[in-house]
Each structure stands twice: as C-alpha cells, then as structure tokens.
Amino acid sequence: MWEAPVSDMAVHAPHPPGFKHQFEDMDQQREADSLGMWVFLVTEIMFFGGLFATYIIYRALYLPAFETGSRLLNVKFGAVNTAVLIGSSLTMALAIHAAQAGKKKSEQVMYLVLTMILGAIFLFLKFNFEWRADYHEHLIPGFHFIIRPEWGAAGPHVPMFFLFYFFMTGLHAMHMIIGFGILATLTGMAHRGRFNSEYYAPLEVSGLYWHFVDIVWIFLFPLLYLIGGRFAIPGVH
Amino acid sequence: MITGLMQTGFTDMAAAIAAAAIPIHPTSASSIADSVDHLYYFLTAITLFFTFAIFTTIFYFMVRFRRRSPDERPADTKTHLALELSWTIIPTLITVVIFVWASSLYFENSRPPEASTEIFVVGKQWMWHIQHPEGVREINELHVPVNAPIKITMTSDDVIHDFYIPAFRVKKDAVPGRYTSLWFQATKIGTYHIFCAQYCGADHAEMIGWVYVMSPSDYAAWLSGGARNESMAQTGERLFTQLGCVTCHVADNTGRGPSLVGLYGKQEKLRNGDSKLVDESLIRQAIVNPNSIILPNFPPIMPSFQGQINEEQVLQLIAYVKSLGTEERKTNGK
Amino acid sequence: MSTTVIPEMPGQEIPAQSRVNYLNASYGVKSWLLTTDHKRIALLYLGSITLMFFVGGFFAVLMRLHLIEPQGALVAPETYNKLFTMHGVIMVFFFLVPSIPATLGNFLVPMMIGARDLAFPRLNLLSWYIYVIGAAFTLYAVISGGVDTGWTFYTPYSSTFSHTSVIPTALGVFITGFSSILTGLNFVVTIHKMRAPGLTWFRLPLFIWAMYATSIIFILGTPVIAITIFLLGLERLLHIGIFDPAIGGDPILFQHMFWFYSHPAVYIMILPGMGVMSELITCFSRKRIFGYTFVAFSSLAIAIISFLVWGHHMFVTGQSIYAGLIFSVLSFLVAIPSAVKVFNWTATLYKGSISYDAPMLYALGFIGLFTMGGLTGLFLASLATDVHLNGTYFIVAHFHYIMVGGAVMAYLGGIHFWWPKITGRMYPDGWARFAALIIFVGFNLTFFPQFVLGYLGMPRRYAVYPSEFQVLNVMSSAGASILGIGYLIPLIYLLWSIRYGPIAGPNPWGAKGLEWETPSPPPTENFEEIPVVTEDAYDYANVGGSRV
C-alpha cells in the first residue's frame, strides 16, 4: 500500500511489531480488531440466516420432497465431518492458547497445521465422496438432474431441496476455503515467531472466524441431514 | 428545446387552469370511494397544516433571528423536556387516530357482502381475461350492474399483475399460483378505467380496459345477448370428463379418489391432522400440487395438472365443483 | 459574492499554500489508487458516485422527455421500461446508498472523533474497489442492452420472463452490497473504539450518531438482499422454482426478502442526511442543537424500527389483513422519530443568529421537503388509502420528495459546507445560492404534480398513458428540465473552485467540531496531536471556541 509521508511533527516512539498507525496503542488496536471480527460475524449471521429462513419456509411447503432429498444424503460422512470440524475448532483453540501461554512457536505451528489438516479432511470428504457421488447419481440441479420414479409425487420438488443443499454447503465450504487461506497465513507468521503472550490478536480474531464457520456447520448438519425423518419412530408423527 | 418545453409547460398549465381542465379529483363511483376520499382529505389537511406550520415557523425564525453582526453570539439553549414530550406524544396520538380510522375502513372494505356476484379475472401478459359465472367472457372489459356488490376473484397466468379501478378506489395484485380477491359496489352508471398497476413487462401500460356500469335491466340484457354461452360450471363439467378426473372422482365414493359432491365449503381433515376449508384456493392447490393435500383414506396418487390447463380452465373446474356442492344441498333438502 | 466573515479562532494561523496536506503529500495515480487515507478514499468515492449520479440522471431526463406525450415522445415501450429500471438501480444502489456515508462519512468520521483514520484503512480501500467492480458489472448490463425488471426485480418476471441483462445487473448489485457492509463495519468499530479522550457518546456530533445508526442498517440489512439476489440469479440460471410459482416457487417470498433490506435501505439513504442537517442548522444559527439526546436516540429508533415495517410495500399483494394491520401500525411508529427531529431542528433556529449561506439554504429546503415527503408517507401507511395509491405516481412523488428533496439536498448542503475543508478552496457563494434556489423550484415543479397524478389513478412505470393525464405530465417534465440545469451548476462551479476559488482558512464558517480545528485541507494524519475533548457538541455560546 502507498504510505503517504507522515508529517515531521509526528512523534515516533518505537512500536511493537504489527502495530498499525491509525491506532493510539496496541490495546486500542486489539479491541478494534476483535470488535471488527464480531461485527463481521453478525453480517455473516444475517447472510446465512436469510438462506436458512428460505430453506425452512420451503421445507414446510414441500415436506415430502425435502424428506426424500434429505434421506439421499450420506449421513455417515456428514457425521464424520461434524466431528472433524469440532476437532479443528479444538486445535484452533489450542493454537491460540499456545501463543497466549508463551509456548514455543513449533507448538503454535503444530496446532495450526493440525487445524488445516482437519479442515482439509472435511473438504476432501465433502467434495470427493459426497459431492462426487451426488454428481454420478444425477442429484445436482442444473447438471443433468434426474427425477427418480420411486420418489413418486414428491419428485418434482426434490431438485429444490438439492439446490438448497448445494448452495448452503457450498457457501459454507467457500467460507472454509477462505479460512484455510487465513490459517496458512497465520502458520507462516507463527513460523516466523510473530506470536507471543503479548501479541496474538490475529490468532484470536481468526479463531473467532473459524469457530463461526464451525457453528454454521453445526446448524447445517441437523437441518439438512438429520430432520429428513430417517430417524422417525413408527406411529409418532 | 428545453426553453420550448418550459414554455409549453407553463402555457399549458395556465390554459388548463383557465379552462379548469387540470383534473385534480378522480371520479367517485363506488360505495367506498367517498369514505376513502374523506380519509384522503383528512391526511391532506394534516400534511398541509404541518408543512405550512413548519415552513412559516422557519421563515419567521429566519427573518426574526437573522445574523445582524459577524460576531453575534446567541445565548445557550436549555433543554425543555415538556416541549419534547409534547411534540412526541401529540404526533403519536394523531397517528393513532389515523391508524384506527384507516384500518377500520380497510377492514370493512376487505369483506365482500354475502350476496356478492362473483366474477373471475385472469391477468396475463398483457390483457385481462374476465369470466362471468353465466359463461360470458370478456377481454379488457368488465360489464357490471349498478348498486350490486361484485366480488372479483383473480389470478395470473404468468407474472404478477394488479387489477386497479381508480374510480372505485379498489386494487389488488393478481398473483400467479394463488387467488386474490377484491369487492366493490358501483354506485354510478358510466364507464371507468381499469389499469394494471404492477409492472409486468413490455406492454404493462397497454394492459388497460374499461368497466361498464349498467342499470340492472341493461346488464341482464347484455348478459343474455350474443351467442349462447354455457355457464362456467358447464364448461368445467366438460373439462372434468375430458381430463379424466371423472375416472377417479366417482360420485358414490367407489373410485380411487374422493367424491367431490358436497365438498365445497366443508372443513376437511388431512392425513397430517390439519383441518382445511375447501375453498377456491384449496381446490386449485389440489389440482396443481396434489401431493400437498393428502387425505386420510386415499393414497397420494393424484397426478398434478400444472402446465396442462390454464388458470381460466382451473376456475371453470372450480365452478363445476361448487355446483356439485349446491346439488348436494338441493338433494339433501328434499 | 459575500462570504460571512468570522474572526479566526485564537491560536490558528492561516496556513501557507506550500504546507503539506493530504492532497499534495504525494502525487501520481498509484498514490491515489493505492491510498489508505480515508480522505483520499472519500474523494475516490466522490468521483465515482458523481459519475453514477449523472448516468442515472441522464436516464431520468430521457424518461421525462418521453412522457411529454401520452403515446410516448421518445422511445419504444421496451426501452422506456429499461430506462426506469436502470434509473432506479443506479440511483438507489450506486448513488443514494453510498452517497453521504462513503464521501462525507469517510472523510469526516475519523476527524470528527479525533482519530487519525478509520479502524481498518485497507478495508476501506477494498470497499471502494468492490463498489467500482459492482458498478462496472451494472454499467456493462446497461451497455449490453439494459435491464427491464424495475429496480425491485419482482418475480416471476425477473426470474423467468424478462429477456434482458438481469444477471449482470444482479451481480453488480450483489457485489456493491459488500462495499456497504464493509463501510458499516469500519464505522461501527471506529466510533466505538477510536474516540478521542474526553469524547463520550453524548458529546459526539449528531452526524456521528447518524453514521452509527446507518451502519447498523448496513450491517444487518445488506446481507439479506445479497442472499435474495443470489437466489434470484440461481433461479434464472438453473430454473429451480424458488420464486417462480409455475415450478413450485413463491413470488411473494421474494418480495418479503427483497423489502426486508430495501425498506431499511431507504433509511440508509435519509439518516446520513439527517446527520448533516444537525451540523448545518447548528452552525448557521450558531446555536447548540435543541434536544440533543432526543435527536441522537431518534436516529437509533429509526434504524431499529425500520426493520419492522417492510410489509407496507405489500399491502395489496393479498397478504392477510392482520399482517397489514401490524405493518401499518409500525409504519406509523417509524414516522414519529423523524417528526421529533424536524421539530428539534426548527426549535434550534429560535433565538439563533441565522445566516443565509448556501449550505443553510439546502438545509432549510431539506426540512420543508422532507416534512412533506414524510407526511405523504402517512397516506401510504394508512391501509385504506394505500389500496388506492399503491402502484401509482403518488408513490413515485412520495419517495422522490424524501430521496431527492431530502437526501440529495442534504448531500449537496454537506458538500458545500465541508468543501473548504476538503479542498482548501471556497466556491462562489452567489452561484451556490442561485443553484440551491433553482434546484428547489425545479424539484417541486417536477414532483408535486405527481401526487395529483397518483391520486387521479395514473399508475407508475407506464410508457404510455391516457391523454387526460398529459397536462400534469408536461408540468412535471418542465420541472425536470429546470432541476437538471440546477444540478449541473454546482458541478461546474465546484470543479472551477478547486483551481480558481479563493483559498479557505481552517474554519470559514466559524463552526464547532474537531474537523474545523485542522488546517484546510488537513494533513494526512489529521491531527498533530490527538485532541482532548472537554466540551459538549455545538457549544456555540462558549466564545473560547476550541474543544481542546
């Protein structure tokens, strides 16, 4: 970025690394960064929330179709992925703790890399197993979707379920990929020894983002995979 | 060109005022037009009063307290809670009055009287298809008798349109996929505009027509004049056979589907426990999205007819089903 | 030409021209396109939105010329439908929504609170680039044949039936939305965390309260329109029935989602203008604002209640009567805080020392026109009258009174007020007052006849109309030509003043506020030393002047 020359009159005391000049001190910077991330997460809640609301409305309108679609999802992979993501939130928290507690940079890096590995496992399972299978079974709307006769009268609206499924999980996956990029950057910074018990705000703030992405999945998994009536008790509606 | 325009504008304005030809007030030709207008005048009075009051106060303050010397420094203001509360509470009370007035008028205007004549309207790009129950069909024209309540039930074949009769002060969207309705009672014989008031594509501005309000005898003559028409119910009955509905919906309940005799107007219990009133909307839903209405004793095997028939035909089928209900009551009342 | 002469505040010298400020601190295209200085970014926005304003305004000129004749004087109906759509899309999303926040907000928020920049300067630059990319997509749509769905994109017309460039336009709007979200985020964090010592919430200028309330709406509302537009785009591409009833969708759901953002959006467009009002009225009557707390809280009240009234756009869609009642009562409620502001501004003038500079003329015009526009909203919140007036020119007149008679006047007033601070130059006051008057007259002549047209029943978005409506249409078009000239005049003299205008001192208006305690134009870092605030806002009775 082009830095305009600062006026000669500005007093220039030595600043801690990572200090940004629009702030007065590191405390102000840390608070601003943290508040900024929380506000951003509020916008994300409104973003996903609008989508969730639409999904819920259409589920109410086309329940048989949505249940049919939901049962076609692979709940085993969904469940494993849930565990993987929760694990990655744990490793992220451990990475932050490592910096906060002044642990060696190798420990910070280890946890960050573990988080990335778990995130990669999530994406790999989703894309390579779930989505690839859906493509071969003609369940992707707009890409040779085939309405199967055994779906009966619910058939015509099953594509709508899958539109929501791919849009919601795709949007989530996109956020995870961005998170991946953030983690990679943080790993580089940690490797260069940038974080210590005085300065670990970027880890904390990114941790907020990563936990949010995790929480979105924790809503998505039951809403998409579990309420398809697959665990219905006979006789109870 | 622009000065020419300004000249035209101002000359026209002057001429029109002179000839009293600038319309200011729309025709009133329905039972509710005057009451809507009274509310409108009240709101206009409030608007003018407050606008005038604010403008004159500002103007007065601007002159009275204009800066008289460059370093004039007025005394400080004090907060005045009583004033703040007054000008918060008084406008609130005024809005309460307006809300109560407007809402009660709206409430009255949304319930058609029991004995309304029903007329059915289907909007499609870019014309209004109108069907009388007796079978007479019109395009962009609506003939009605004076001083009789008319209920318009409408839908659209394609995009959202809006059926608007300014002289009657009524308007309602015609939405594809559902029925909406409005009602009016014309009070003056004459001819009035129909406009489409929801942008619907290229010829939205051409989707206009006329309401012809006639005396009862003229209306009866118009209705029976022209080619022999079969009623909507009769056309519906023909469709019912043509489309094969009659093969499942047998009158004595021996078919794969329920009998429709006496069905209209009943409260039906669905398989999931919900209870629904069998009205036009539910019958339409059963025809285009049968899987959303599953009855306790019948399997969900009815195919959807969406795309096979247009909205006018759906209305004809509904008219037929209604007529079955009427017969049932007649036979029961033997 | 006369300028009010105020004795300079003690301790401030008239700066020499060769002093380093944010404009001359560095030269070259790269120093502007890669700047992180909030003041330069404000100017980048100023240039872009002015361009978009004149593009959208050009379409309006064509529309009004066309409507001189009942059968249309200029273009085919299909073209007219594209003109009103693009006029709406550009004016709403690319001019009004960013206008005051992205230009005056970006420039002034850090200065008014005694900070060196916003909390996230690089994010601020990114916001501008996102805006430009979104604008580029929309302009591409304009050039590649236009779009004809109306700025409201109602389905199923926009999802299934329209054959125009819906997706590029939708993409442009979607992308630009993120520009607003990031600006709102930046403002909220800055206002919370970077106020100068002593600057408590209730000492803040009301412009800051207005920016804060606007930012809340940016943050909560914009993501919802983003999702709505994305779903619309998906439907258009993949033909899955989300909003198209023929394939199982619900067109009314689209309207609910669309208006959930777009109603608060109109408050995004007016709240900043109200913030500017508080600054102008206090300065040019040289008095503290009457009822500071009430005005501050009314901004927040408007922001919050604005999220609860969206259904008043849908009274005639066939929604339930009870839903209509709820939205009606809430719509009346949202009018009250605005009324409170108008009364407080008027009371501020009482026993003041009022000068008639151009910014004040714009401010006074705003109060009158906004009052009228707001009161005509009562006609539309009233269920019984809305049935008759919805979808007619009454609506068009109502929102133009608020958005043009209100927001644009406030925007111009603010630009004129802070022009000397931003550029270090003064504009010619005589021309400025003349333009303000022309705009006021032209505006009323354009839009007042439209109230009458609406009551008579002329629907909006009509390329042709019955001949009985012609006289009023011609009046409106005549007014529009005057209004158009009125807008060109400031463009000319403001640009002229950058080079040839007299040099302005730090505080030519004798105004209160931290931004006026810096040289004109300010240095890049705003303040040599961060000030310590000991006074309330608008403490004009206090001769000492400075807040330090």
> For chain A, what percentages of helix, strand and coil (3-state, to nearest 5) are there?
75, 0, 25
Please give the Cα distance from C350 to C282 (Å, whole number).
11
Q: Give the number of other Cβ atoms within 10 Å of residue B46's Cβ.
A: 18
Q: Could you tell me which of C38, C194, C233, C243 has the C-alpha nearest to residue C127?
A: C38
The values of phi and psi at residue C303, to 5°, are -60, -45
- In a mutational test of the B interface, the residue from C353, C361, C402 whose CB has the highest number of chain B CBs within 10 Å is C353
Confidence of residue B19 (pLDDT cuts 50, 70, 90): low
Q: Give the number of other Cβ atoms within 10 Å of residue A50's Cβ.
A: 21
Bond before C521 cis per omega within 30 degrees: yes
pLDDT attached to residue C7: 43
Place of tokens 């913030």: C275
Residue A9 domain flag: no
Same domain, B268 and B184: no
Please give the Cα distance from C474 to C449 (Å, whole number).
9
What rounded mean pLDDT belongs to chain B?
A: 87
Could you give the strand order of the β-sheet that contains B137-139, starting from the edge strand earlier in sequence?
B137-139, B127-131, B117-124, B149-156, B180-185
Contacts of C139 (CB under 8 A, 6+ apart): C55, C172
Q: Which of A1, A50, A163 sits opposite C240 (nearest CB)?
A: A163
Please give the Cα distance from A49 to A55 (Å, whole number).
10
Residue B69 domain flag: no
Same domain, B43 and B172: yes
Domain count, chain B: 2
What rounded mean pLDDT belongs to chain A?
A: 88
The CA angle C288-C292-C296, to the nearest 5 degrees, is 140
Same domain, B40 and B159: yes
Measured between beta carbons, the chain A residues lying within 8 angstroms of B304 are 153, 156
- Under an 8 A CB cutoff, do C294 and B92 touch? no
- More confidently predicted of B241 and B5: B241
Measured between beta carbons, the chain A residues lying within 8 angstroms of C223 are 43-44, 46-47, 49-50
Residue A6 domain flag: no
| A64 shares contact with chain B (CB less than 8 Å) | yes
Residue A213 domain flag: yes
Facing residues of B186 across strands? B30
Same domain, B193 and B44: yes
Residue A176 domain flag: yes
Give C38 to chain A, closest Cα distance, Å: 11
For chains B and C, count residue pairs whose Cβ atoms are closer than 8 Å: 305
Please give the Cα distance from C157 to B200 (Å, whole number).
7
Q: Give the number of other Cβ atoms within 10 Å of residue B244's Cβ.
A: 11
Identify the chains in contact with C, defined as 3+ C-beta pairs within 8 A: A, B
Helix, strand or coil for residue C161? helix
pLDDT attached to residue C509: 93
pLDDT along chain C (548 residues), means of 10: 41 55 91 95 97 96 96 94 97 97 97 95 97 97 94 95 94 96 97 95 96 96 95 90 88 95 96 97 94 95 96 94 95 96 95 94 94 96 96 97 96 97 95 96 96 96 95 96 96 95 93 93 91 90 54
Contacts of B189 (CB under 8 A, 6+ apart): B146, B213, B214, B215
Residue A5 domain flag: no
Residue A113 domain flag: yes
| A156 shares contact with chain B (CB less than 8 Å) | yes
Same domain, B189 and B94: yes
pLDDT digits (tens, 9 = 90+) for B172-200: 999 999 999 999 999 999 999 999 999 99
Residue A220 domain flag: yes
- In a mutational test of the A interface, the residue from C227, C250, C518, C527 whose CB has the highest number of chain A CBs within 10 Å is C227
pLDDT digits (tens, 9 = 90+) for A101-118: 988 889 999 999 999 999
The values of phi and psi at residue A179, to 5°, are -60, -40
Residue B77 domain flag: no
pLDDT digits (tens, 9 = 90+) for C70-107: 999 999 999 999 999 999 999 999 999 999 999 999 99
CB C353 within 8 A of CB C286: yes
pLDDT attached to residue B10: 57
Measured between beta carbons, the chain B residues lying within 8 angstroms of C321 are 106-107, 110
Same domain, B87 and B163: yes
Q: Which amino acid is present at A111?
A: Y
- Under an 8 A CB cutoff, do B291 and A61 touch? no
Measured between beta carbons, the chain C residues lying within 8 angstroms of A57 are 250, 253
Please give the Cα distance from A123 to A129 (Å, whole number).
10
| B4 shares contact with chain C (CB less than 8 Å) | no
Tokens representing B47 are 């608007």
Facing residues of B131 across strands? B120, B137
Q: Which amino acid is present at C284?
A: F
> In chain A, what is the straight-line distance between the N-terminal and C-terminal CA atoms, in Å?
61
Residue C161 burial by Cβ neighbours in a 10 Å radius (0-12, 13-18, 19+): middle
Bond before B126 cis per omega within 30 degrees: yes
The CA angle B316-B318-B322, to the nearest 5 degrees, is 115
Alpha-carbon distances, residue B32 vs B10, B251, C325, C375, C388 (angstroms): 36, 43, 19, 24, 11
Domain count, chain A: 1
Identify the chains in contact with A, defined as 3+ C-beta pairs within 8 A: B, C
Please give the Cα distance from B95 to C335 (Å, whole number).
9
pLDDT at B333 over 50: no
pLDDT attached to residue A9: 44
pLDDT digits (tens, 9 = 90+) for A76-97: 999 999 999 999 999 999 999 9
Same domain, B162 and B38: yes
Q: Which H or E run includes B153?
A: strand B149-156
Domain limit, last residue, from B228, B262, B287: B228
Contacts of C462 (CB under 8 A, 6+ apart): B204, B205
Please give the Cα distance from B56 to B59 (Å, whole number).
5
Please give the Cα distance from C146 to C88 (Å, whole number).
12
Q: Which H or E run includes A162?
A: helix A158-191
Residue C489 domain flag: yes
- Under an 8 A CB cutoff, do C321 and B75 touch? no
Confidence of residue A198 (pLDDT cuts 50, 70, 90): confident
Measured between beta carbons, the chain A residues lying within 8 angstroms of C189 are 32, 35-36, 39
Please give the Cα distance from A143 to A136 (Å, whole number).
10
Q: How far is CA B143 from the centre of its chain?
A: 17
pLDDT attached to residue C11: 45
Q: Which amino acid is present at C175?
A: I
Residue C249 domain flag: yes
| B304 shares contact with chain A (CB less than 8 Å) | yes
Domain of B37, in residue numbers: 22-56+82-228
- Under an 8 A CB cutoff, do B195 and C332 touch? no
Same domain, B167 and B39: yes
Please give the Cα distance from C531 to C136 (Å, whole number).
41
- Under an 8 A CB cutoff, do B66 and C355 touch? yes
pLDDT digits (tens, 9 = 90+) for B264-318: 888 888 887 788 888 899 999 899 888 778 888 888 788 888 888 989 999 999 9
Residue C456 domain flag: yes
Same domain, B223 and B307: no
Q: Could you tell me which of A78, A122, A124 has the C-alpha nearest to residue A230?
A: A78
Helix, strand or coil for residue B293? coil
Please give the Cα distance from B276 to C528 (Å, whole number).
73
- For C21, name the nearest residue in chain A, comparing CA atoms only: A7
Please give the Cα distance from B130 to A197 (Å, whole number).
77
Residue A10 domain flag: no
pLDDT digits (tens, 9 = 90+) for C227-266: 999 999 999 998 888 999 888 889 999 999 999 999 999 9
Side-chain-side CA neighbours of A37 within 13 Å: the count stands at 18
Domain count, chain C: 1
pLDDT attached to residue C253: 94
Q: Which of A2, A47, A156 sits opposite C35 (nearest CB)?
A: A2
Which B positions 121-180 lie with beta carbon below 8 A of chain C? 125, 158-160, 162, 164, 166-167, 169-173, 175-178, 180
Residue C447 domain flag: yes
pLDDT above 70: percentage of residues in chain B: 90
CB C512 within 8 A of CB C540: yes
Bond before C156 cis per omega within 30 degrees: yes
- Lowest mean pLDDT segment, chosen from B149-158, B201-210, B261-270, C148-157: B261-270
Facing residues of C354 across strands? B66
Helix, strand or coil for residue C446? helix
CATH number at residue A92: 1.20.120.80
- In a mutational test of the B interface, the residue from C383, C441, C487, C539 whose CB has the highest number of chain B CBs within 10 Å is C383
pLDDT attached to residue A150: 87
Residue C544 domain flag: no
Domain of C91, in residue numbers: 32-517
| A229 shares contact with chain B (CB less than 8 Å) | no
Question: Within C67-165, where are the H helices?
Answer: 77-89, 99-100, 106-112, 121-143
Give A54 to chain B, closest Cα distance, Å: 18
Please give the Cα distance from C202 to C308 (Å, whole number).
27
CB B141 within 8 A of CB B130: yes
- In a mutational test of the A interface, the residue from C240, C250, C528 whose CB has the highest number of chain A CBs within 10 Å is C240
pLDDT attached to residue C426: 96
The rounded radius of gyration (Å) of the Cα atoms in chain A is 22
Q: Could you tell me which of C440, C488, C485, C446 has the C-alpha nearest to residue C68?
A: C446
Measured between beta carbons, the chain C residues lying within 8 angstroms of A21 are 116-117, 525
pLDDT attached to residue A235: 59
Q: Give the number of other Cβ atoms within 10 Å of residue B216's Cβ.
A: 11
Residue C322 domain flag: yes
Same domain, B95 and B191: yes
pLDDT attached to residue A15: 73
CATH number at residue B92: 2.60.40.420
Facing residues of B128 across strands? B123
pLDDT attached to residue A4: 45
Q: Which amino acid is present at C432?
A: A
| B288 shares contact with chain A (CB less than 8 Å) | no
Domain limit, last residue, from B228, B243, B258: B228
Contacts of C44 (CB under 8 A, 6+ apart): C32, C33, C35, C128
Q: Could you tell me which of B152, B313, B142, B166 has the C-alpha nearest to residue B240?
A: B313
Q: Strand pairing of B117-124 and B149-156? A: parallel
Domain of A51, in residue numbers: 26-226
